[in-house]
Structure 1
Amino acid sequence: MSVSFVLSSRARSSAALVVAGVLWGTGGLSGALLGQLAGLHPLAVATYRLLLGGVAGLLYVAVTGGLRTPTRAALRRLLVVGGLFAFFQASYFAAVSLSSVSIATMTTIGSSPIVLAVVSAVRSRRVPRPYTLVSLVGSVGGLVLLRWSAEAPHLAGIALAFLAGTGFAVLTLVTAKPVPGLDSMATTAYGCLVGGALLTPVAAYLGMALPLHLDVLFVAAYFGIVPTAAAYAAYFRGLAGAHPVLGALSALLEPLTATILSVAFLHERLSAPALTGAVLLVAALAVGYWRPEPRCPSAAPAAAACRGSRTDAGRR
């Protein structure tokens, strides 16, 4: 495999991760709007997100001729993904109820790449590269500044948010290794349906009545299609050629996009620390996405080994 192909594969994977992060950023606004219009509990909103995203993904799979009986390996993967979807959503919204949206989001999204970096370091028995550490520290620091809240944190809320971040990290690790016959959209569709089904009993108890009004249905459809089905499919697609830590870092584009949308459409004003955090977050993510390749030595055996490591990196 040539170096140019590896770099092209990395570029496509990075682009898919960026798309996923940006699309996720529209989910906060559309999810809040759906909850407001329909009078739904946040957990019911999350349940609708998974169910509608699963239906949208399944329709796409059916139209493109991808419906087929899953293998045992694919079925195991889908059950795990669905369980992680449900665990992640339930833990996150429980954290929100005990703390706040700002603290829960910051802890959840910020802890995920840290967990992945630690796991990767333990697995490989080597310290992460300097560019990874710079991107990691800068991204988390930028997120703290962007979503900083002066309110006192609730320890139980922090713990649940960390569980949510760990669940997202495990989801990233699990889906980073593809299963034959199971593409990114099929993983998203069936995984969302399984996760939504697991959350439905609790959400039904809290109330899931959805008013059949045009504006409610439009927001619900957007919520299920764009920041859920399309975003997670792009994320799983990007993980096929990127390191899991980079995948988790792409999730930090979600609060950045949400902040930009709030400024543009809700006329919110950014404080100086939040503006600094946004700039730092963009710079740190840029380091993670466009870090330079290590130079290969001129000796033939070492150069061949270096090319092989590049190929493996492009596949991660």
Structure 2
Amino acid sequence: MKSGVFFVAAAAVAWGMGGVVASVLYRISGMGPLAVSFWRAGFGVLVLVLVQLVRRRPVGPRALFPRGWVMIVIGLGLAVYQSAYYLSIAQAGVAVGTVATLGACPILVAIGARLFLGEPLTGRAVLAVGVAIAGLVMIVGGPGEVGPHPVLGIFWALVSAAGYAVVTLLTRRYADRIGSDDVGKTLASFVVATLCLLPLAAAEGLLPASNATVAFGWLVFLGIVPTAMAYTLFFNGLKTVPATTAAMLVLIEPVSALAVAVAVLGERLGLPAVAGTVMLLAAVAAMSVPVRRGSRAAVAAGAAGFDRAAPEPAVAGASEASGDPASAR
């Protein structure tokens, strides 16, 4: 499980880095978030196809979709939770949309993992989720400016969180059916996501209005690091990391975005953001430490049904607080 925790945490760090890059892209290119997400997914697909060809792995439909419906639904989930997040922040404001989306993710995953995977919902998990959400609120600066339709924005935030929960739970539940090739899983899911995002991005405007060369350079970076690399690590980590723990680990994303914004963009870190970062990291650390003795036996018993089926094993932070969506995930 230790390597799985590292993989999921590394994916969250990459997503946070990508969020800062995406916020820069919005400013220099005039592209909207849906267009950035489309090109990021599209370049990710190209990178993953090249990786598979170098590995001499097949990239046809039969190879990518050995159990077609599972990877198709996972790909749809990827497209839904990213697009719905943008709708959320447009309707409810960046801070409200961010807190509602990222705060709902671990809650929905924890409930879904209990109902569908048999993972225990412990008091430690409930406490950790609560502390993490409080820390997230402090990082993004509280309620902030409310958008024109906050109720509708919160609805889209819940849709986004549900899409993320579907991706996480299906990947855990059907690990044996979708195979052990994590690069292939990532490629298949993003082929579906790219096709879903194309009409939305086309309606928004596909091409950069300025600084096209620089913009496409950053889009290639987004395709390589927060997409091809990060999701391959994420799918790998989900082989051994319980879904609820993975959802908590992903909350490292806003901390990563905050660190990059401070180090690279020169943004200042206020006391509430520092306190929120400490709270969030403490909650993540609490969920990453294995349970001991009797609790360990209970966890093993609760997860046994899934483990037999799978022997192999939201920009938050500074950029979101300044008005930029977390499109890195």
TM-score range, shorter chain: 0.7 to 0.9
Q: In structure 2, what is the Cα distance between the partners aligned to 1:79 and 1:308?
A: 30
Cα gap change, 1:287/1:207 in structure 2, threshold over 3 Å: closer, same or farther? Answer: same
Q: In structure 2, what is the Cα distance between the partners aligned to 1:213 and 1:41?
A: 14
Q: In structure 2, what is the Cα distance between the partners aligned to 1:267 and 1:117?
A: 36
Which residue does 2:321 correspond to in 1?
none
1:161-186 deviation line (CA, Å, top 9, x unaligned):
11101110111001113125452221
Which residue does 2:26 correspond to in 1?
35
Q: Conserved in 2, the CA contact under 8 Å of 1:78 and 1:187?
A: yes
Gaps of at least 5 residues in structure 1 are 1-9, 298-304
Cα gap change, 1:96/1:192 in structure 2, threshold over 3 Å: closer, same or farther? Answer: same
Q: In structure 2, what is the Cα distance between the partners aligned to 1:307 and 1:96?
A: 37
Q: In structure 2, what is the Cα distance between the partners aligned to 1:296 and 1:18?
A: 24
Cα gap change, 1:180/1:196 in structure 2, threshold over 3 Å: closer, same or farther? Answer: closer
Matched, 1:275 2:267: no
After TM superposition, give the deviation of residue 127 of structure 1 in Å: 6.0
What CA RMSD, in Å, does the superposition of the two structures yield over aligned residues?
2.6
Which residue does 2:8 correspond to in 1?
17
After TM superposition, give the deviation of residue 77 of structure 1 in Å: 2.1
Matched, 1:93 2:86: yes
Deviation larger for 24-33 or 178-187: 178-187
- Output aligned runs, 1:216-235, within 5 Å: 216-235=215-234
Which residue does 2:153 correspond to in 1?
157
Q: Residue type matched to 2:221 in 1?
A: Y
Q: Conserved in 1, the CA contact under 8 Å of 2:35 and 2:201?
A: yes
Matched, 1:67 2:61: no
Q: Residue type matched to 1:76 in 2?
A: W
2:128 paired residue among 126, 132, 135: 135
After TM superposition, give the deviation of residue 202 of structure 1 in Å: 2.2
Q: In structure 2, what is the Cα distance between the partners aligned to 1:118 and 1:213?
A: 44
Q: In structure 2, what is the Cα distance between the partners aligned to 1:232 and 1:22?
A: 11
Gaps of at least 5 residues in structure 2 are 314-329
After TM superposition, give the deviation of residue 98 of structure 1 in Å: 1.2
Which residue does 2:183 correspond to in 1?
185
Q: Could you say which structure has the larger radius of gyration?
A: 1
Give the secondary-structure state (helix, strand or coil) at the position aligned to 1:70. Answer: helix
Q: Residue type matched to 1:268 in 2?
A: E
Q: In structure 1, what is the Cα distance between the partners aligned to 2:100 and 2:67?
A: 31
After TM superposition, give the deviation of residue 151 of structure 1 in Å: 2.5
Deviation larger for 77-86 or 275-284: 77-86
Deviation larger for 175-184 or 51-60: 175-184
Cα gap change, 1:142/1:73 in structure 2, threshold over 3 Å: closer, same or farther? Answer: same
Cα gap change, 1:251/1:184 in structure 2, threshold over 3 Å: closer, same or farther? Answer: same
After TM superposition, give the deviation of residue 192 of structure 1 in Å: 1.0
After TM superposition, give the deviation of residue 124 of structure 1 in Å: 7.0
Q: Conserved in 1, the CA contact under 8 Å of 2:96 and 2:146?
A: no
Give the secondary-structure state (helix, strand or coil) at the position aligned to 1:261. Answer: helix
1:51-105 deviation line (CA, Å, top 9, x unaligned):
1112212221221122253276432222112211111122111112112233222
1:106 paired residue among 95, 99, 106: 99
Q: In structure 2, what is the Cα distance between the partners aligned to 1:107 and 1:165?
A: 9
- Length-normalised TM-score, structure 1: 0.86
Which residue does 2:36 correspond to in 1?
45
Which residue does 1:4 correspond to in 2?
none
Which residue does 2:327 correspond to in 1?
none
Cα gap change, 1:24/1:158 in structure 2, threshold over 3 Å: closer, same or farther? Answer: same
Q: In structure 2, what is the Cα distance between the partners aligned to 1:149 and 1:306?
A: 39
- Length-normalised TM-score, structure 2: 0.83
Q: In structure 1, what is the Cα distance between the partners aligned to 2:121 and 2:129?
A: 10
